[in-house]
Every structure is written in structure tokens, then in C-alpha cells.
Structure 1
Amino acid sequence: MTLRRPFDDSDELVLHRLFFALMPSAEAVEEIARVRGGLGVAKSHVLDHRLHMTLWALDLPMTPTPGIIDDLCAAAAKVSAPALRLVLREAVGNGQVACLKPGEPMPVLKAFQQKLQLAIADARIWPNRGFRFEPHVTLAYGMDEGFRREVLPISWRAEEFVLVHSLVGLTEHVPLGRWALGA
């Protein structure tokens, strides 16, 4: 099944994206929203309920099959890791996208992401060509200017990771699975 964008005279097709992510806590979402609110004009701000840190992503031209979803879920179930403390310390914009980044290396997060990516590769599923894990939380799209500035640290403990089906451009995220991270 292929979806077309509603209320649009374009024949552009909807892109389906499957991604694994860490979701910020409710308290972190409030802090992230304050930073986002200070960004100024953007074509589109990421809504609170869609804020996340992508760990792995795969774009598909059509609705994902149950088989690929089952395989991704089985791969995720094989990954065990401790809960993760995430800290975002800088706001960065490149003239197109604005995001929050850690501002310093996070080796435990990187090790977890690599473990997840290897489990998925064992299922013979690969991420988007050129996908490179760069920890960030996207805040807005369509910013007119670039910037980099420190922010008060925004921290949360990630106790689970999720698999999400996104209809890109339609701002719809459908959770497909959740896996706990150990204490």
C-alpha cells in the first residue's frame, strides 16, 4: 500500500520510515520545548510527542511488511544494555535543521547503538545508505540561519528504546515495540 500526501496537489509519495529511538522523559520534553521555543522562526517545529533520539533508521517506499517488523522486533529483543543517562548540552542549526546535541562523546550510548545495529545486521537488515549515528534530538526544520550555542544541560535516564513507524511529512509516528534497558 502506498499513501499520497493529503491536501496537496503534488503526486509525491509518502515515505515510510522505520526507526529505533530513545524518547526523552516528560521533564526533559519540557526543557527541550523551552529551548525550541527560543529558536525563532522555522517552517516546522517538532511537536513534543515526536521528540526522540534516532538510533537506527530505514526508509521504505511502501508500508512495511509484517515480516520486516517481526525481524526488527526479534533483533531488538536480543539486545540487552543498562539504562542510559543522556545529556544534551548544545543547540545547533545548519540553516535547514535545528537540533540539540550532547556536545561531548557519550561512549556508553555509542556502544549501545552499535550493539543494536549489529543485532539488526544479523537479521540481514541494513539502515539507510549513509546512515551514521550522530546523537541528537531534532527541534525544527526550515531555519534560515546556522548557529551553535551552549544550553543548560538537559538530562534524562532512558529506560527503554522503541521501534517507530513514521509517515514522513505527515507527522505521524506509530510505536511498534518497546524494549526495556536494564537498571
Structure 2
Amino acid sequence: MSLLRSFDDSDEIILHRLFFALKPSAEAVAEIAGVRGGIGVAKSHVFDHRLHLTLWSLDLPMTPTQGIVDALRGAAAKVGGPALRVALAEVVGNGHVTCLKPGEPMPVLKTFQQKLQLAIADAGIWPNRGFRFEPHVTLAYGQAEGQRRPILPISWRAHDFVLIHSLVGLTEHVELGRWALEG
């Protein structure tokens, strides 16, 4: 994946993460940024262009092979469905990470995520050990205190989903694929 920086001369261990996600609409990003601005001091805030809702995730200790990327792309191409409504209605933080979460279950989103996970499993790839789909959009890392409070709902209709390659902790995301959802 030559699109990402090379760290060949470094002793630092780089964790590569491949993940499928829904990206918020421009209008939702603006609303999310408003909420993020009100959560207080944190070690790092997630930049607007990196906001996402993770559907599935795999961490690797090295650059992913083209075979893994191709298998994930092939699995994603087999998953279709209607555009997905995402609605986030509360801020939840535990002192380590602060997120926006839905105020109620989203069964259509859950069904889509399960279809995607099954298609990826059929390709012979499994998510991170312990991965559980819990819809959220991360706002910040490293706040001193936890919090939980309702917000005016932020919603958008996701018309596609993406595959991202991330260098964890280095704020680099490279889009590896995008698949349309109907309507």
C-alpha cells in the first residue's frame, strides 16, 4: 500500500487497521463537530474528515497484503441493501474515549452489518478478536472524566459504505473502496 508513509527506518511498531465504515454526510459532520466542540479538553479530537461509524475491523502488524484487500473488496461487492439511516442521540465517555451513540437500537443497520460480516467470513477473514458491533462515532480520546448525556439527535442517510486502511495513532486514513447502497 504505497499510499501510506514508509516507516522502514524506524523501530516503531505500526499497527495497520482495515475497517468498513459509514461516513456521515456533510451536514451531519457539521452537527457532530458542534457536539465535539462542547465535550471539553481531550488529548486528541477526531478530525472531521476521519469521522466514521465502524461496521467491521481487522488489525494487522504489517501492511495488508493485496490478497486480503482484494478479498475484502470482493466480500463488500456481494453486500447490498437500502441506504441506511443512522441516528445518534447521546454522548458517552469513559475517560479514555468519548463517542456519540444511538439512543435506541437500529435493527436495519444491525442487519446490514451482519450481512457484511458474513460475506467477509465467507471470504475466510475474521474480525479482530472480541470485535462486537456497537454503533458509535468516536469524537475524542483521553478525556480526564467520563460523561453520559443526551443530545439533539444527529442523523443522516448513508448511501454508501467504505473500506479504510488506517495507520493506528498516526491519523492517516486511505480509502480502499466504496460501495453504493440503494436509495
The two structures have a TM-score, normalised by structure 1, of 0.95
1:12 Cα deviation from its structure 2 partner: 3.2
Q: 1:3 to 1:135 in 2, by over 3 A?
A: same
1:128 match: secondary structure? coil
Q: Is 2:53 aligned against 1:53? A: yes
| Matched residue type, 2:99 | C
Structure 2 residue aligned with 1:42: 42
Structure 2 residue aligned with 1:83: 83
CA contact (8 A) 1:101 1:136 kept: yes
**Alignment partners' CA distance in 2, 1:103 and 1:122:** 32
User: Residues 124-174 of structure 1, C-alpha deviation per residue, up to 9 Å, x if partnerless?
Assistant: 000000000000000000011011000011010000000000010110000
CA contact (8 A) 1:5 1:170 kept: no
**Alignment partners' CA distance in 1, 2:8 and 2:70:** 27
Structure 2 residue aligned with 1:106: 106
**Alignment partners' CA distance in 1, 2:71 and 2:84:** 24
**Alignment partners' CA distance in 1, 2:11 and 2:154:** 40
Name segments (4+ residues, structure 1) moved above 2 Å.
Answer: 1-6
**Alignment partners' CA distance in 1, 2:94 and 2:154:** 21
| Matched residue type, 1:80 | G
Q: 1:5 to 1:149 in 2, by over 3 A?
A: farther
1:104 match: secondary structure? coil
**Aligned length in residues:** 180
**Alignment partners' CA distance in 2, 1:176 and 1:74:** 12
Structure 1 residue aligned with 2:92: 92
- Aligned runs of 1:79-158 on 2, under 5 Å? 79-158=79-158
How large is the Cα RMSD of the aligned pairs? 1.7
The two structures have a TM-score, normalised by structure 2, of 0.95
1:4 Cα deviation from its structure 2 partner: 4.2
Structure 2 residue aligned with 1:174: 174
**Alignment partners' CA distance in 1, 2:161 and 2:81:** 10
User: Residues 66-105 of structure 1, C-alpha deviation per residue, up to 9 Å, x if partnerless?
Assistant: 1000000000000011001110000000011000000110
1:5 Cα deviation from its structure 2 partner: 9.8
**Alignment partners' CA distance in 1, 2:152 and 2:6:** 41
Identity %: 78
Structure 1 unmatched runs, 5+: none
2:70 match: secondary structure? helix
Q: 1:5 to 1:96 in 2, by over 3 A?
A: farther
User: Residues 94-123 of structure 1, C-alpha deviation per residue, up to 9 Å, x if partnerless?
Assistant: 011000000110000000000000000000
CA contact (8 A) 1:3 1:14 kept: no
**Alignment partners' CA distance in 2, 1:35 and 1:4:** 35
**Alignment partners' CA distance in 2, 1:123 and 1:182:** 23
CA contact (8 A) 1:19 1:54 kept: yes
